[in-house]
A and B are shown apart, each in its own frame.
Chain A
Amino acid sequence: MTSPASPVIDASTSRAEVELVLEPGRADKNYWIDLWRYRELFLILAWRDIAVRYKQTVIGILWAVLRPLLTMVVLAVVFGRVAKLPSDGDAPYPLLVFAAMLPWTLFATSLTDASNSLIGSANLISKVYFPRLIVPTATIVSAFADFLISLAILAAMMVYYRFAPRWHIALLPLFTLLALLASLGPGLWITALNVKYRDFRYVIPFVAQFGLYVSPVGFSSGVIPEHWRLLYSLNPMVGVIDGFRWCILGGNSPINWSGFALSLGVVAFFLWLGIGHFRRMERTFADLI
């Protein structure tokens, strides 16, 4: 297979070694190595998604600022002012909402993009070989770019509210990774299903909209009665959002650790399901798409 990783100089030496056997049902032993070899394709596809997203928009990158900011304002007004829900500790309500908007937008955008990614690259998939896992994972990078912009907005908000972060913020990258993994699992699963059954493309916008209200984005998960907390944590985003608030708002938002562990388990389960299903379906993508 075309291996961009091996430089041209050693092409002559590696030539004899590369032997590929194609057989029905043969799980490719070199799959993960191949994935690594194609890392440049991953980067370029991610870059393409980002470049294309803003090419024909008038205010370009500003969209990435406006969208979360306006959603935050609406949620803060509805839940904080109108419904008068309590904040965590003495954290300002808009900050509480925005700290949850960060992982939620990351999750929703990457889930939506990843789910549609295979169908969107149908022409690639039916014409060229490369590890298909690259397509949905690359779309997640562009969602991550939006996330970084939102992070800058958060910093600005914290300055505005004179809210200093504590040591907890150092763990934010870990929770970011968790948010990415939480979206990757279902994303892979649904994009693979989407190739076969196009019904699933109607499911995702619904999940993204519905989830915004089911997950503790506009309100603190502290308002959920204690005996429902564990059940509530079956929603993997509950753990992620609580984690984000804990990092950003410092000690104001305590984490329900048993619930968090449960969310972690659900994330792991979906990741296992997603990758497993994707790998099994992958071989038939070109025939079905």
Chain B
Amino acid sequence: MSDIVIKAENLGKSYTIGHQAERGRYLALRDVAMQNARELWHKTKDLLRGRPIVLGATQEEIWALKDVSFEIHRGEAVGIIGRNGAGKSTLLKVLGRITEPTAGRVTIKGRVASLLEVGTGFHPELTGRENIYLNGAIFGMTRSEIRRKFEEIVAFAEVERFLDTPVKRFSSGMYVRLAFAVAAHLEPEILVVDEVLAVGDAQFQKKCLGKMGAVSQEGRTVLFVSHNMAAVQQLCQQGMVLSAGALSYCGAIGDSIRNYMQDVKATVVGTELANRKDRKGSQWLKFTRVAICDGLGNELRQVMSGENLSIRLYYQARGEMRKASVNVAFNVRSSSGYLLLNLNSADSGQPLLDIFEHGYFQCDWLRFNLRSGVYDCTLFCSVNGEIADWMQSAFILNVEDGDYYRTGKLVDRAQGDVLVPCSWASQPGAK
């Protein structure tokens, strides 16, 4: 039993957020004055009680983590996976002592270093050398420890020539490499890593993965959060799946990933969005539902590459407008976490659209060109330049490979996510 390094019991973390009351279309000065007076009174009350001030007429408690219990053993590499907003980052923040849990308890044996973002605390005016010392100290290394590893860090980051240049003159690649190098040379018993591999070139990412693998082989524990399933699978033996703040699966990494994909697929077509709270923007216009239809308007459960798709984004608005300056957009992320595409109305030549109190925007995606898999889409809408609604992971596209080129052939799936119409020819020409 002494081998358990992290033990969480019924861990919970809640945040209080406020909602603005629904306002009518016409505002009387008197109403505004009353509203402001009420808010001021609430603020004063909160201030006197020493509670955080929460704006808005109604308050709501949101549990980012709820009733999470698990045990992690020494030397394990654990991948934490889940959709955006499932509570992964909150969990890491609690484990890294950055924020305190609201309920439950965690017992941690050993030193924890959390790498929630590389380059934390880098100062642009300081040189590479100075930043290595600064960053090391922030992560809890002593000067002698850093001095001992200095050469190693510099060699790993491949920035020997720029040691005495202020990091503001670094390319973003150099910056990230240096930052990761410092972090990778920490020697904590427990290393907590959040999505650092989303940066840097492929070669450097490989190097980072290798380094983290080495860390876990030395008998230290690694917690790794990523949307990159390939990286998680490569690095971790164990997995934890978080879903809406709760631990939905815990076990071997292969099973965890399958479980996660199942979880993602469960929320398939005809996604209801009206009750989702994890959205930003004024909510003047609010997405309520997404339907993915074929060319004839029939709703689809699954889409096939090569088909003509109509994606209908149903919404409700607080008013009607003709030829409003609207930008509707969604972007598409592959299951390995890469942002593949952004489709938006403004760039594609429809900067002015009508808005109804209830209606839908339709995006026609002719000859749908993504390969098989599950794609995660983020929805966005701005009206007159102001963000009206913005929701991460609003809906997913569940795709099967189809006969895209009408040749009955399609190259191996591992060759990429996107299909592009193309034609080939052969011509004689100059040497």
Q: In the complex where A286-B99, A287-B15 touch, is A124 in contact with B110 (Cβ < 8 A)? A: no
**A288 contacts B by Cβ under 8 Å:** yes
Range class of the B interface residue count:
35 or more
* CB neighbours of B140 from chain A (8 A): 1-4, 37-38, 41, 130
CB-contacts of B136-152 with A (<8 A): 137-143, 145
> In the complex the two chains form, is A18's CB within 8 Å of B101's CB?
no
Tell me if A197 is interfacial: C-beta within 8 Å of chain B: yes
A37 to chain B, nearest CB (A): 8
Decide if B137 touches A22 in the complex (CB within 8 Å): no
Nearest chain-B residue to A121 (Cβ)?
B121
Residue of A nearest to B93 (CB): A286
Assembly CA distance A25 to B52 (angstroms) = 15
A258 within 8 A of B: no
Would you call B101 and A2 a contact (CB within 8 A)? no
B94 within 8 A of A: yes
**Given contact pairs A40-B137, A197-B47, A52 touches B126 in the complex (Cβ within 8 A):** yes
Of the candidates B97, B114, B130, B188, which one forms a contact with A22 in the assembled complex, judged by CB atoms under 8 Å apart? B97
- Name the distance in Å between A200's Cβ and chain B's nearest Cβ: 12
* Residue interface bits A8-27, CB-to-B below 8 A is 1, else 0: 10010001101111111110
Instruction: Please give me the residue from chain A that is nearest to B148 by CB atom.
Output: A8
Whole-angstrom CA separation of A124 from B135 in the bound complex = 10
Least CB distance, A191 to chain B, in whole angstroms:
16
Within residues 219 to 259 of chain B, which ones have a CB less than 8 A from any CB in chain A? none
Mask: chain A, 248-276; 1 = CB below 8 Å from B; 0 = not: 00000000000000000000000000000
- A48: which of B47, B95, B105, B126 is its contact (CB, 8 Å)? B126
Query: Mind listing 18 A-B residue pairs with CB under 8 Å?
Result: A2-B111, A2-B112, A2-B140, A2-B141, A4-B140, A8-B187, A20-B108, A20-B109, A23-B104, A24-B103, A44-B143, A123-B120, A126-B98, A128-B138, A129-B96, A197-B53, A284-B52, A286-B99
Interface assignment of B388: CB less than 8 Å from any CB of chain A:
no
B357 within 8 A of A: no
| Residue of chain A at shortest CB distance from B113 | A2
A5 to B111, CA, bound (A): 12
Chain B residue, CB-CB nearest to A49: B123
Q: Is the CB of A283 within 8 A of B100?
A: yes
Q: Does B269 contact A (CB under 8 A)?
A: no
**Cβ of A41 and Cβ of B186 under 8 Å apart?**
no
Q: Which residues of A contact B (CB under 8 A)?
A: 1-5, 7-8, 11, 15-16, 18-26, 37-38, 40-41, 44-45, 48, 51-52, 55-56, 121, 123-130, 196-197, 280, 283-284, 286-288
Q: Which residues of A contact B353 (CB under 8 A)?
A: none
In the complex, the answer to whether B145 meets A2 with C-beta atoms within 8 Å is no
Question: Whole-angstrom distance from the CB of B287 to the nearest CB of chain A?
Answer: 28
B112 and A1 form a contact (CB under 8 A): yes
Which interface residue of A25, A127, A130, A284 has the most chain B CB atoms within 10 A? Answer: A127
Rounded to whole Å, the gap between the CB of B368 and the closest CB of chain A is 40
Decide yes or no: A129 and B130 within 8 Å by CB, A197-B47, A287-B99 being known contacts. no
The residues of B with any CB-CB pair to A shorter than 8 Å are 2, 15, 47, 50, 52-53, 93-114, 116-117, 120-121, 123, 125-126, 130, 133-134, 137-143, 145, 166, 186-189
Chain B: which residue is nearest A20 at the CB level?
A: B108
A-B interface pairs (CB < 8 A), number: 139
Q: Taking A4-B141, A124-B120 as contacts, is the C-beta distance between A286 and B98 under 8 angstroms?
A: yes
Verify A21–B105 contact, CB threshold 8 A. Answer: yes
Q: Are B137 and A44 in contact (CB under 8 A)?
A: yes
With a cutoff of 8 Å between Cβ atoms, the chain A residues found around residue B142 in the complex are 4-5, 7, 40
A41 touches B137 (CB 8 A): yes
Take A24-B101, A48-B134, A286-B99 as given contacts and tell me if A18 and B121 are in contact as well, using a CB distance cutoff of 8 Å. Answer: no
Contact A22 B120 (CB under 8 A): no
Contact between chains at A124 and B138 (CB < 8 Å): yes
Complex Cα gap A287–B94 (Å): 11
Question: Smallest distance from the beta carbon of A162 to chain B beta carbons, Å?
Answer: 43
Tell me which of B2, B47, B53, B97 has the highest count of chain A C-beta atoms within 10 A of its own C-beta: B97
Instruction: Kindly identify which residue among B47, B98, B112 contacts A127, using a CB–CB cutoff of 8 Å.
Output: B98
- A44-B137, A51-B126 known, 4 other contacts, Cβ within 8 Å: A21-B107, A52-B126, A127-B121, A130-B140
Per the bound structure, the CA–CA distance linking A138 and B49 in Å amounts to 30
Residues A55 and B97 in contact, CB atoms below 8 Å apart = no
| Neighbour of B101 across the interface among A15, A23, A126, A284, CB < 8 A | A23
Q: How far is the CA of A20 from the CA of B105 in the complex (A)?
A: 10
Cβ 8 A contact of B106, one of A22, A41, A124, A128: A22
Cβ of A172 to closest chain B Cβ, rounded Å: 31
B97 CB → nearest A CB, Å: 4
Contact call B121/A123, Cβ cutoff below 8 A? yes
Contacts known (A1-B112, A4-B145, A130-B138); A52 close to B125, Cβ less than 8 A: yes
Contact (Cβ within 8 A) A22 B139: no
**A25 and chain B: residue at smallest CB distance:** B100
- What residues of chain A lie closer than 8 Å to B111, measured between beta carbons? 1-3, 18
- Please report the C-alpha to C-alpha distance between residue A8 and residue B95 in the assembled complex, in whole angstroms: 23
How distant is the Cα of A126 from the Cα of B125 in the complex, in angstroms? 21
- A24-B102, A44-B137 are contacts. A127–B113 as well, Cβ < 8 Å? no
